[in-house]
Structure 1
């Protein structure tokens, strides 16, 4: 009698635990503009995560340097993180200079990465008839360099310098990503450097309103180390009314999905698994994401990997770089 009762108790407990493990988990996540890969990928992945019982509450159009602080203090579950932003936090430099190296390093110690991925390509756009045919022609002009306190500031000024336009020779304009396209059309700056997938509908529509030119940098130019970028190419004729007769070299951003170190191993494992096993399908769902599966999942990762992510990679035959463990 006792054995039967005990058996029923154990069975009931097992069923209860199974039911608990099957319950959906709600997580918060932040990303950049919806028009960029940094926004498109999290949006697309959210639908796949929901099938794995992970419900994503996604906030778009965020300044990712601020999102990183939320990850570090535990007020946000996950976010797309620029590699350079993490390094700046760890050193207490750049947008985190006021907190200093000791506090920055302390906060960075609570950040973990799940995987890295390629972001969007910087498009340095001008109106084709404004006399700016190459970067050096923008001397003395107004150049949009991203949102205030964003990691994009250093990336865009580096891109301009690679094209021959030094930082102190133009007026750098900062404004939120979401307001930049309209501000450019309203004449608030002369060069609009936006982060878009190559073939973006946003840029295509812009070119239909008025012919555009995309400023390029010398072919083969490598980005500065630590800024989280790789060389990229924007073919001539990509957009309907694009004045370029030859391809434009530029830089592509790299990102990683960041979480707090306190995230459970199971959740980190699941989030990594869903990305890795659906990234090829995401590219089929949206051609602007078809480059995701071509890149190593460790590209752009500057924070240590979460143990749950490491478990997934090792179980699936990936060699995890020693410096990311």
Structure 2
């Protein structure tokens, strides 16, 4: 009887262990590396992690990792294996593959396995000016006192545009951090400020809620001259701005590597697009992501992501295949 009881117990135990282990074994774990905690892009990572978990009924679990920036994210490709997902502007992927600064001296072979998945909200240029003019042209900035910030992408891009369109000598540039822009505008210390952010941008929402503002809208020719990606901020995004604002942006893409298997890449990409509208209801910045932005991806798509786009009928440039 003792032997029989032990045999029965062993069978029951094995069955119980199998029951407990089976779900864990079926779970796919993904590491997502985006930005520093407290930033908009870190919050996007939280939302995306939750969306993928919900979209796969918990079969794919995303672990969010803090990052010090896009360069670090791309550099990490040299040490990472498996299901590593990271975010970066596509221009940095091109630089990594060409061993250009900040990747000079790094073996390009380490980056050849980078593969695109899907776009996430871009850094969009906002030119905010006091007054209820609605939409302004770049030429309307002449004679104005504009805060563009220091050291950021937005500051560099704003100065580049002012130089490109021969406005640099006609605009007085305020020497202050962009964080002081809304208060300085409300207090009349400046005529406008420039910020690069996902939209709707909190600092622009705050400003538009307390005073009349206008936004600069660029022409098709001006956008083409900048060489930057075209971005439309839909009318109604900000109080008092009823028409679409045509501007530029710095695309940001979620990438992985060839080490990720095709099914996982397919599942993640499908879950992102299927949950995008639900995410946008909670955080409006996701509403700015459209299938057309797939064309901003540098390099090539992961075969799993490509399979989803072909199934969904989303147009993919030949260079990404």
Q: Which TM-score band (shorter chain)? A: 0.5 to 0.7
Q: What is aligned with 2:71?
A: 65
Structure of larger gyration radius: 2
Please report the TM-score for the alignment, with normalisation by the length of structure 1.
Answer: 0.67
Alignment CA distance shift 1:268-1:80 (3 Å) = same
Shift of 1:262: 2.0
Shift of 1:205: 1.6
Query: Could you list the per-position Cα deviations for residues 217-249 of structure 1 after superposition, in whole angstroms to 9, with x for gaps in the alignment?
Result: 34653245864x1143465x7545x6x898754
Q: What is aligned with 1:279?
A: 276
Query: Could you list the per-position Cα deviations for residues 47-77 of structure 1 after superposition, in whole angstroms to 9, with x for gaps in the alignment?
Result: 1212323333335685323322223542892
Which of 11, 31, 38 aligns to 1:27? It is 31
Q: What is aligned with 1:203?
A: 204
Any conservation in 1 of the 2:120–2:286 contact (CA below 8 Å)? no
Unaligned runs of at least 5 residues, structure 2: 1-10, 132-137
Unaligned runs of at least 5 residues, structure 1: 1-7
Which of 73, 81, 88 aligns to 2:95? It is 88
Residue 222 of structure 2 aligns to a residue in which SS?
coil
1:153-302 equivalent positions in 2, closer than 5 A: 155-161=157-163, 164-166=166-168, 180-182=178-180, 185=183, 191-198=193-200, 200-208=201-209, 212-218=213-219, 221-223=222-224, 227=228, 229-233=229-233, 235=235, 239-240=238-239, 248-292=245-289, 294-296=290-292, 298-302=294-298
Q: What is aligned with 1:303?
A: 299
Residue 260 of structure 2 aligns to a residue in which SS?
coil
Q: What is aligned with 2:45?
A: 42
Q: CA RMSD in A?
A: 4.5
Query: Could you list the per-position Cα deviations for residues 78-135 of structure 1 after superposition, in whole angstroms to 9, with x for gaps in the alignment?
Result: 2222122222323334xx25x43x636334313211123552431123566xxx9944
Which of 104, 113, 116 aligns to 1:110? It is 113
Q: 2:282 and 2:313 mapped to 1: Cα distance?
A: 26
Q: 2:164 and 2:297 mapped to 1: Cα distance?
A: 24
